[in-house]
Amino acid sequence: MGKAWYEIIQDIDRRIIYLVVFLVVSIPFFLSIRAPMEVGPPAQHLFDCVENIAAYNKTAPKEKIVLIIPEWDPAVQAECKPQTRAMMEHCMKRGVKFATMSWFYPQGVELAEKVAEECEKKYKKKYGVDWVSWGYKPFSLATFLAFIKDIYTLVEKDSKDTSIREVPLMKNVDSLRDVGLVFYVSGGSGIGYYINYALPEIGFSIGTGCTAILGPEMRPYLDSRQLVGMMEGMAGAAQYEKLLEFKEGRGTRGMGSQSFAHLWIIFTIALGNVGYLVHRRRLRKAQKGE
Amino acid sequence: MRRTIIILITFIGGLYYFLNFVLPQETPLVPFLTPDIKFSDAIEEIGRVTLVIGVFAIFLGVINLSRLHLGRISRRRPGWYNSVALLTAFAAMFTFQLLKTYAPSEWGDKFQSLLFDHMYAPINSTIMSLLAFYMASAAYRAFRIKSGEAAVMMFIALIVMLGQIPIGQLLTSGLKGAEGTNPWYSYLRLEVVREWFMGVWNSAAQRGILFGMVIGAFALTLRIWLSLERGSFFDREL
């Protein structure tokens, strides 16, 4: 005797599920699906922080810079790259200078440099004047504490091997007190070092771009205002792109795939549960009948 | 004797970090005797020392890995060809990255880009993307409403998933009030409810987990600092 319908929908072949996931993720990349994305408070607050720095720089005698920490590798670049790009484009658009460096991922800063090079062409900005790369520095707590105390003890040359004191942008940067915002983009949790050690000492704002899976972990820091704002996963990048009034950024485009993938997961969960509940009901009825 | 030295170094090292964190930055290293040398000045030198130790650790790791896999190849152990692939990939990436840094040339950069941008990056992304397939399959098989708690969890998961995507947000977009107003029903929009769950309920739970972790870490730190920890390495005769 064949399986009943409620048993079949509880046990769909995993290859069918994989195939549909593949289709719902890949097809939207070739279609231009534009759905309105609502901007949440975490992305809005991060955006406002950069805007405030831009406004401050217009009147203040000494400019503040943004320090972008790209602690990501190709594994999480689907989420972290659009976040890094959105922040870099915002800085360049508003004339806020930025530096970039990484502690845990040597490839992170290299990948971020490529993003910055793409952005500088778009906004006609120049390396060394509008942005600089401090390169990769292997992490240890002592090194990090020394960096907080004096960035020049650790950063002697930029990633292009130029003496850091000769980089025009750095002439305006004496210490981390000249950093208005640290933007930590990561799929890991190294941001704790900035929150625990750098924030009490320096007092700058810290924002984060994180993978969606890390978002819940970051919420207590947002609640306590230790984090000024956040781009949470690809949705966070898409929200930020909306604030930047991009017609179609990488994050916004990726949301089409994410939307359909979520809908498919919800559909399969619902299907499995309908089968399970009907099955349970029939079993109970049969038991009562006995 | 060796053990005593290690215990002493561990204690002094831990004490320095602790005092560096709690003492004001201007505190002299030795009060009244060295007013110009600050307690926190030593952190730069300690930073350099730890970097050197870290480099040695990487170096040892490379030697260990090479020995292990060369042994597997020479003894033709099952799967020895995987070791060949690993060592070849390691040697190629190491060589071309060094060439790119210290002797840049057009062909060297091209090879480095081929290895990093066109091999390592796609492989790394592909492995991570497999998660989407496994998660979809696992959610379908494991997520069953078998109890009241499971029903609550599913309800919240549904809101969190729908509240994150534009299509989900579109479902309740009609609940917006007029420009500049916030009627009561606007708080029922999926993205708002999602934000409430994430910001309030999730934060509370995360904070609880964090407290537990920190207390555990604090206890463990104290045990290591005071050399009370016992384990496979700590009990070994030194």
Chain B residues touching A268 at Cβ < 8 A: 136, 139-140
Minimum Cα–Cα distance from B203: chain A residue:
A220
Distance CA B127, CA B122 (A): 9
> What is the count of structural domains for chain B?
2
Domain assignment of residue A192, yes or no: yes
Q: Residue B38's pLDDT is what?
A: 82
Q: At B99, which amino acid appears?
A: L
Last residue of a domain, one of B28, B49, B77: B77
pTM: 0.88
**CB atoms closer than 10 angstroms to residue B114:** 13
The predicted complex's ipTM stands at 0.85
Other Cβ atoms less than 10 A from the Cβ of B210: the count is 14
Which among B20, B55, B143 is the nearest to A272, CB-wise?
B143
Amino acid at B69: H
In a domain, A41, yes or no: yes
Q: Are A181 and A205 in contact (CB under 8 A)?
A: yes
Q: What's the rounded Cα separation, in Å, for the pair A128 and A7?
A: 64
Residue B48 has pLDDT above 70, yes or no: yes
- Residues 90..109 of A with a Cβ closer than 8 Å to B: which? 107
Q: Classify residue A218: in a domain, yes or no.
A: yes
Boundary residue ending a domain (B56, B77, B98) = B77
- Angle of helix A41-59 versus helix A77-94 axis, rounded to 10: 30
Query: Do A51 and A133 fall within a single domain?
Result: yes
**B56 to A51, A282, B63, B96: CA distances (angstroms):** 44, 66, 11, 22
Please report whether residue A252 resides in a domain.
Answer: no
Comparing alpha-carbon positions, the chain B residue that sits nearest to A276 is: B144
Helix (H) or strand (E) segment spanning residue A16: helix A14-30
Task: Look at the block and give the residue holding tokens 């503040």.
Answer: A64
Residues A273 and A185 in one domain: no
Residues A115, A70: Cα–Cα separation, whole Å: 11
Listed in sequence order, the residues at least 6 apart from B12 whose beta carbon sits closer than 8 Å to its beta carbon are: none
Same domain, B150 and B238: yes
- State the sign of the Cα–Cα–Cα–Cα dihedral A163, A165, A171, A174: positive
Are the Cβ atoms of B132 and A41 closer than 8 angstroms? no
Strand ranges across the sheet with A131-136: A131-136, A98-102, A65-71, A179-186, A205-210, A229-232
Q: What is the per-residue pLDDT for B20?
A: 84
Choose, out of B167, B172, B189, the residue to mutate when testing the contact with A (most A CBs < 10 Å): B167
pLDDT (average), residues B129-158:
92
Q: How far is Cα of residue B149 from the mean position of the Cα atoms in its chain?
A: 31
For range A2-17, the mean pLDDT: 91
Which pLDDT does position A141 carry in this prediction? 86
B151 and B231 within one domain: yes
Select from A217, A223, A259 the Cβ nearest to the Cβ of B167.
Answer: A259
Cross-strand partners of B155 = none
Asked whether residue A248 carries a pLDDT value surpassing 80, the answer given is no
Asked if B20's CB is within 8 angstroms of A138's CB, the reply is: no
Same-domain check for residues A17 and A44: no
Q: Is A154 on the interface with B (CB under 8 A)?
A: yes
H/E stretch holding A71: strand A65-71
Residues A24 and A42 reside in one and the same domain: no
The domain in which residue B55 lies consists of 1-77
Please tell me which of the candidates B129, B158, B198 has its beta carbon nearest to residue A219.
B198
Q: Is the domain of B152 the same as that of B70?
A: no
| Structural domain boundaries enclosing A208 | 35-247
Decide if A21 is inside a domain.
yes
Instruction: Compute the distance between CA of residue B222 and CA of residue B23 in angstroms, rounded to an integer.
Output: 19
Give yes or no: residues A88 and A165 share one domain.
yes
Average pLDDT of A192-204? 90
Note whether B155 and B71 are same-domain residues. no
CATH code of the domain in which A146 resides: 3.40.50
Return d(Cα A99, Cα A183) in angstroms, integer: 10
| Statement: residue B233 has pLDDT above 60 | no
Q: What is the CA radius of gyration of chain A?
A: 24
Q: What is the dihedral of CA B215, B221, B225, B230, to 10 degrees?
A: 100
Do A266 and B141 lie within an 8 Å CB cutoff?
no
Total tally of structural domains belonging to chain A: 2
Chain-chain contact of B203 with A255 (C-beta, under 8 angstroms): no
User: Do A269 and B140 count as a contact with CB atoms less than 8 A apart?
Assistant: yes
> Sign of dihedral through CA atoms B179, A36, A206, B194?
positive
Same domain, A180 and A55: yes
Is residue B82 in a domain? no
Among the candidates B77, B97, B114, a domain finishes at B77
Q: Within a domain: residue A279?
A: yes
In a domain, A183, yes or no: yes
Q: Would you say residue B194 has pLDDT above 80?
A: yes
Distances (CA, A) of B189 to A237, A255, B182: 21, 19, 11
Q: Residues 6 or more apart from B156 whose CB is under 8 A from it?
A: B197, B201
Of chain A, the percentage scoring pLDDT greater than 70 comes to: 99
Identify the DSSP state of A196.
Answer: I
Residue B236 and residue B156 share a domain: yes
Chain A from 156 to 195: CB within 8 A of any B CB: none
Beta strands A131-136 and A205-210 are: unpaired
The answer on A144 and A52 residing in a single domain is yes
Instruction: Tell me if A12 and B140 make a contact (CB, 8 A cut-off).
Output: yes
Residue B95 forms part of a structural domain:
no
Which of B50, B143, B166 has the CB atom closest to A142's CB atom?
Answer: B50
Q: How far is CA B124 from CA A237, B117, B172, B188, in A?
A: 21, 10, 37, 40
Contact A202, A148 (CB under 8 A): yes
Pair (A119, A232) in one structural domain: yes
Q: What is the model's pLDDT at position B231? A: 62
CA of B71 vs chain A CAs: smallest distance (Å): 29
d(CA B115, CA B113): 5
Among residues B14, B9, B8, the alpha carbon closest in space to that of B222 is found at: B14
In 3D space, the residue among B145, B146, B140 whose CA is nearest the CA of residue A10 turns out to be B140
Distance (Å, whole) CA B210 – CA B206? 6
Q: Which of A115, A266, A279 to mutate to test the interface with B (most CBs of B within 10 A)?
A: A266
Q: CA A173 to CA B186: how far, in whole Å?
A: 46
pLDDT tens-digit readout, B106-136: 888 898 889 988 998 899 999 999 999 999 9
Residue B103 lies in a domain: no
Average pLDDT over residues A242-264: 89
B interface test, pick of A143, A177, A210 with most B CB neighbours within 10 Å: A143
pLDDT digits (tens, 9 = 90+) for B206-216: 999 999 999 99
